Amino acid sequence: MQKKGENTPLYLQIYKEVQKRIKNGDYKENELLPSEAALQKEFGVSRITIRRSLQDLELAGFVKIRKGKGAIVQPARKYLDLVAATSFSQEAERVGERASSVILKFEEIQASGIVCDYLKMEDGTDIYHLKRLRLQNGRIIGINEQFISKDTGVIIRGDELDENTSIYALYEEQGFHISYAKETIEAIIPSKEMQKELYMTAGEPLFRRERITYDQNNQPLELSINSYKANEYKYTITLRREEL
């Protein structure tokens, strides 16, 4: 396995080769890698070297090692730039995925708690509440809840919503232009209800993104709470020189 003139450790050479095969689709998502014995025979190295390579692949999120089964190829994580105020469908399109949604709930309710705080409104103000499962290429990856101010004049009709509806596009159609957004992100353990909705096992973490979106008049349009499976995403932040 050691290439002539190559000073890179064997385990790292194997790591890079297996990583390349995963990215090229030679080893497909949710499928088992060849066994340790098979990899050992192919690369002509010790079992310890193969295990080190697999451990590093797991650490980097490319595989998940299941005791008694082997290493399972994980879905590729999507990199999202937190600086851009993009919609779910725009984020999916940017990484070559097909976005869709399943509407779990749409209702007109009275705002309370953090919704009032974030949207700067009185307790009991009428708002829209939309809750959707988020899917990419038909795979459930998270839940989105939007609390949308009616005071802005935005009109949303439940019978016009479908799996491809973009609320951001609807804003634009009605003359509301998104100026900027403020977002916070944290890791959480989902509730039992959310575990059931997302088909998750106990103990799996979620990325929770709370976003307040503002229109061209600097008025808050909505509070959006997005909870994504942690193994589906990595986040990247663009820092300009003056911000460093």
Among 30, 52, 73, the domain-final residue is 73
Residues 104 and 45 in one domain: no
Residues 187 and 125 in one domain: yes
Domain residue limits at 69: 10-73
| 2 inside domain | no
Q: How many domains does the chain have?
A: 2
CA 242 vs CA 81, 192, 202: distances in Å: 18, 44, 43
- For the entire predicted model, the pTM comes to 0.60
pLDDT given at position 74: 84
Q: Residue 4 gets which letter from DSSP?
A: T
Residues 89 and 119 in one domain: yes
Residues 95 and 112 in one domain: yes
Q: How far apart are CA 118 and CA 224, in angstroms?
A: 10
Tokens of 197: 């909705």
| 3 inside domain | no
Write out the chain's pLDDT in tens, 244 residues.
Answer: 555 445 778 888 898 899 899 988 899 988 999 999 999 999 999 999 999 999 888 877 788 898 888 999 987 755 444 444 555 655 656 556 677 889 999 999 999 988 998 898 898 999 999 999 988 888 888 899 999 988 888 999 989 898 888 888 888 889 888 888 888 888 888 888 888 888 888 888 888 889 999 988 888 999 999 888 877 666 666 665 554 4
Residues 150 and 168 in one domain: yes
Residues 113 and 225 in one domain: yes
Residues 56 and 107 in one domain: no
pLDDT given at position 234: 63
| 86 inside domain | yes
| 5 inside domain | no
Residue 43 sits in a domain of what CATH number? Answer: 1.10.10.10
H or E, element range at 183: strand 178-188
Residues 48 and 88 in one domain: no
Number of Cβ atoms within 10 Å of the Cβ of 211: 18
Residue 162 sits in a domain of what CATH number? Answer: 3.40.1410.10
| 55 inside domain | yes
DSSP-assigned states of every residue in 92-106: HHHTT--EEEEEEEE
